[in-house]
Amino acid sequence: MALPADLVFILVVVLDFFLLASSRLGAAIRAVAIQGALLAALPLLLAGEGHDLGHTILLAVGALALKSLLIPWMMFRAIREASIRREMEPIVGFVASMVLGGIGVALAFAFASRLPLPGGDAHPFLVPTSLSTVWTGLLLVVTRKKAVNQVLGFLVLENGVFVFGLLLSGFMPVMVEAGVLLDLFAAVFVMGIVMFHINREFSSLDTARLSALKD
Amino acid sequence: MLVPILAPLALAAVAFAVPSNRRRPLALLAGAALHAAGVGALLATRPPARAGAWLVFDAMAAVTLLTSTSLFLAAAIYAQGYLARRQDRDNRVFVAGLLALLAAMTTVALSHHLGLAWVAMEAATLATAPLIYFNQNARSLEAAWKYLLIGSLGIALALLGTFFLALSGAGPGGPRSLLVEDLVAAGPALSLPWVRAAFVLLLVGYGTKMGLAPLHSWKPDAYGEAPGLLGALLAGGLTNSAFVCVARVFQVTRAAGEEAFAREALVGLGLLSMALAAVFVLGQRDFKRMLAYSSVEHMGILALGIGLGGGAAAGAFFHSMTNGLTKGVVFLAAGNIHRAYGSKVTDDVRGAARRLPVSGPLLLAGFLAVTGSPPFAPFFSEFAILNGAFAAGHHAIGALFLAFLAVIFVGMGATVLAVVQGDPRGAPTGPDPAERWLTAAPPLALMVLVLVLGLFLPRGLRELFGEAAALVGGSWGTP
């Protein structure tokens, strides 16, 4: 279909790999911000018949403001206040997590090609991109120790869910769309506050130190 | 319909505005009373569902709301005593958060729109995180962080599952809706592979909120570090609301024709949760963490009951009520003991029956009830599930169920007896060494309720459990 949409989907997956390989927090936050901006363009690129123009623009502007501006800005503030720059020792190494990410992307494409879309008229890259991004997010949350990295992983996961939601934007109630953005914001906001407290309690944002509670 | 949701929300705003730390907890009492009145009115009138309504007071909602409103009433009275002794802490966020949690879990229980249920579940998660952090030390911070991170992952996967389900109905002739009624009516017209994938994601997502193994890891931390009354509300209220979500998703999956697959998944996760709880309960020295593993076990029992179907499904709804009320007893009593000793490990705590003449014996009685000893109500609900298993010919599952119950009885018994028995002289003293009525009476009242429900189950309630089970293809009568 449309060439720009193809390009956007490919770039989103490339950014997934970049995030898996990146040890510098600043670069990772910037990558998430760029991914957010790319996602914000998608509702406009994919809008076809049956899409309400108002909803499309609302979704695009909302995604741009939250995913690529506000939240990255909050994250930058968080790492500046805690003065940390890179992930020293992830639980799973960078190369191993790249390999796992590659396997996930391959599986996502295989899964998507086997499942017929009931709607029938979606972009062929949409489902695999969404599932790869969800998988990348899960990997990041599970394999990284720094609180900032885990929050970034959660954002990537939410980005993947957002891409999938675009399939439904033609007929789903507004509430679900708004729910995605609002709750993403709320989750990160509260996480930010909690991280602030972690910062004060431990003078570091390393969740590996959060290990007093275990059996 | 809206009173039990809007009244707590409005009072949460009021609580946030009230400047006095001492008066603010009264908002909890008002919220509990209005919520109970609202649920009572709904139960008396049983308003029929209008077509396309998002909030429906069906039997599942009735069972869950009866449990959570009783628990919240007990917790609100308990909070008067508890927060009066905690004037060192600003309780603005705590009181408002508890009321917001009540509104959110009521919405989840009533919601027949899966998107709305998801939003309310997310709101409940966000409202709970600051409550876990009430004590504001490093340990409660760690618990809140884990709760938020694991909870938000579960919530995100549940949203993806909700999208999958919406997509499954997007084909020609599909319902293009997230209302449970529309999806059930569409049944086989839904796209099966997407329904199957959606069920897995939603089971994982809402299973995280229930605390089913292997996604339970937030539970011991959160329940261990949060104040006892929050543990009671989470273990008996919010987890039951998440269970309702799982049951509604199962309803849709069953109508779509993926019943066998969904049942296997539920039974598998249920048994896994019970097994894991049995392992971690043995030798557990921290009695609040022990209660959390007991909650993991009982969520497993609920999943198992729904998965087995027939009489076990009716037993599962019965059990969601009996377990919820009993969890109120044990968490509130354990909270009192924790405050009396300033410790929650069996190395320090002994002789609770002598130091706290109400809460100590209550923990023992609650332990007997929660492990399924007659004549308390959980015995009868667990028996109904076991009976359902054997009646349907699942002998191996029934035997495993009994074996896990036995192991957990032994494991919990050792810890509880160490706490209750012995001589309290020489044991450390906490901030609240003596029993007080405001904190002892609420768990006592719940305990009496658990006993009465065991001795005499009103016919109306029994029919309600059967009605709820009928929604997921079960009933009291047939196997």
Higher per-residue confidence, B46 vs A205? B46
The verdict on residue A153 lying in a domain is: yes
Backbone angles phi, psi at B433, to 5 degrees: -70, -20
pLDDT band at A193 (very low <50, low <70, confident <90, very high): low
pLDDT band at B253 (very low <50, low <70, confident <90, very high): very high
On whether the CB atoms of residues B470 and B313 are closer than 8 A, the answer is: no
Task: Kindly state the DSSP code that residue B422 receives in the 8-state scheme.
Answer: S
Q: How far is CA B163 from the centre of its chain?
A: 26
Residue A165 C-alpha, separation from nearest chain B C-alpha, in angstroms: 6
The verdict on residue A212 lying in a domain is: no
Determine the residue of chain A that is closest to B286 in CA distance.
A215
Cis amide leading into B375 (omega within 30): yes
Task: Compute the residue count for chain B.
Answer: 479
Flag whether residue A196 sits within 8 Å of chain B, measured between CB atoms. Answer: no
What is the average pLDDT across B298-316? 93
CA proximity to B389, closest of B378, B398, B381, B402: B398
**CA–CA separation, B378 vs B327, rounded Å?**
11
On whether the CB atoms of residues A35 and A15 are closer than 8 A, the answer is: yes
The verdict on residue A40 lying in a domain is: yes
On whether the CB atoms of residues A119 and B170 are closer than 8 A, the answer is: yes
**CA–CA separation, B206 vs B95, rounded Å?**
26
**CA–CA separation, A107 vs B348, rounded Å?**
52
CA proximity to B32, closest of B86, B77, B82: B77
Determine the residue of chain B that is closest to A210 in CA distance.
B142
pLDDT confidence of residue A179: 55
Mean pLDDT of chain B: 91
Task: Kindly state the DSSP code that residue A166 receives in the 8-state scheme.
Answer: G
Flag whether residue B214 sits within 8 Å of chain A, measured between CB atoms. Answer: no
Flag whether residue B158 sits within 8 Å of chain A, measured between CB atoms. Answer: no
B286 pairs with which residues across the strands?
A: B345
**C-alpha distances in angstroms, B356 versus A24, B269, B364, B416?**
55, 38, 12, 14
pLDDT confidence of residue A83: 65
Token pair for A145: 């120790």
What is the average pLDDT across B263-277? 95
Q: How far is CA B128 from the centre of its chain?
A: 14
The verdict on residue A208 lying in a domain is: no
B155 vs A contacts (CB less than 8 Å): 183, 187
**C-alpha distances in angstroms, B378 versus B69, B315, B337, B368, B474?**
19, 10, 23, 9, 19
**CA–CA separation, B135 vs B153, rounded Å?**
25
Q: Cα-atom radius of gyration of chain A, to the nearest Å? A: 18
In the predicted structure, residue A161 carries a pLDDT above the cut 70: yes
- Sign of the Cα pseudo-torsion (B358, B364, B367, B371, in order): negative
**C-alpha distances in angstroms, A45 versus A2, A32, A55?**
8, 20, 14
On whether the CB atoms of residues B304 and B271 are closer than 8 A, the answer is: yes
- Sign of the Cα pseudo-torsion (B220, B224, B225, B226, in order): positive
Give the nearest partner residue to B139 out of A172, A187, A212, using CB atoms.
A212
In B282-423, which residue ranges form alpha helices assigned H by DSSP?
Answer: 287-308, 311-341, 352-355, 359-370, 377-391, 395-420
Query: Where do we find the tokens 């009525």?
Result: B437
Token pair for A213: 């509670």
In the predicted structure, residue A187 carries a pLDDT above the cut 70: no
**CA–CA separation, A153 vs A133, rounded Å?**
10
**C-alpha distances in angstroms, B471 versus A155, B248, B251, B310, B467?**
37, 8, 7, 11, 7
Flag whether residue A50 sits within 8 Å of chain B, measured between CB atoms. Answer: no
Q: How many domains does chain A have?
A: 1
The verdict on residue A177 lying in a domain is: yes
- CB pair distance less than 8 Å for B156 and A194: no
- B323 burial (CB, 10 Å; 0-12 / 13-18 / 19+) is buried
Q: What's the maximum distance between 2 C-alpha atoms anywhere in chain B?
A: 74
What is the average pLDDT across A31-48? 87
pLDDT confidence of residue B405: 95
pLDDT confidence of residue A49: 62
What's the half-sphere exposure (Cβ side, CA atoms, 13 Å) at B318? 32
pLDDT digits (tens, 9 = 90+) for B20-70: 888 899 999 999 999 999 999 999 998 888 888 899 999 999 999 999 999
A202 vs B contacts (CB less than 8 Å): 138
What is the average pLDDT across A166-186? 63
Q: For chain A, what percent of residues have pLDDT higher than 70?
A: 72
Q: Which residues contact B303 (CB under 8 A, 6 or more apart)?
A: B207, B210, B212, B243, B246, B266, B267, B269, B270, B273
3-state secondary structure A172-213: CCHHHHHHHHHHHHHHHHHHHHHHHHHHHHHCCCEHHHCCCC
- For B:193-212, CB contacts with A below 8 A are 193-194, 197
**CA–CA separation, B125 vs B238, rounded Å?**
9
On whether the CB atoms of residues B145 and A180 are closer than 8 A, the answer is: no
**CA–CA separation, B331 vs B243, rounded Å?**
20
Q: Terminal CA-to-CA distance of chain A, rounded, Å?
A: 54
pTM for the whole structure: 0.92
User: How many Cβ pairs within 8 Å bridge chains A and B?
Assistant: 123
The verdict on residue A145 lying in a domain is: yes
Flag whether residue B220 sits within 8 Å of chain A, measured between CB atoms. Answer: yes
Task: Return the minimum-mean-pLDDT range out of B66-75, B82-91, B167-176, B267-276.
Answer: B167-176
Task: Return the minimum-mean-pLDDT range out of A98-107, A118-127, A152-161, B82-91.
Answer: A118-127
Task: Return the minimum-mean-pLDDT range out of B138-147, B245-254, B306-315.
Answer: B138-147
What amino acid occupies position B256?
A
Give the nearest partner residue to A179 out of B118, B164, B174, using CB atoms.
B118
ipTM of the complex: 0.88
What's the half-sphere exposure (Cβ side, CA atoms, 13 Å) at B247? 37
In the predicted structure, residue A210 carries a pLDDT above the cut 70: no
The verdict on residue A211 lying in a domain is: no
Per DSSP, the three-state class of A65 is helix
- CB pair distance less than 8 Å for B119 and A212: no
What amino acid occupies position B375?
P
Task: Return the minimum-mean-pLDDT range out of A176-180, B243-247, B372-376.
Answer: A176-180
Question: What domain range includes position A161?
Answer: 3-203
Flag whether residue A88 sits within 8 Å of chain B, measured between CB atoms. Answer: no
pLDDT digits (tens, 9 = 90+) for B91-105: 899 999 999 999 999
**CA–CA separation, B125 vs B147, rounded Å?**
8
**CA–CA separation, B293 vs B477, rounded Å?**
32
The verdict on residue A9 lying in a domain is: yes
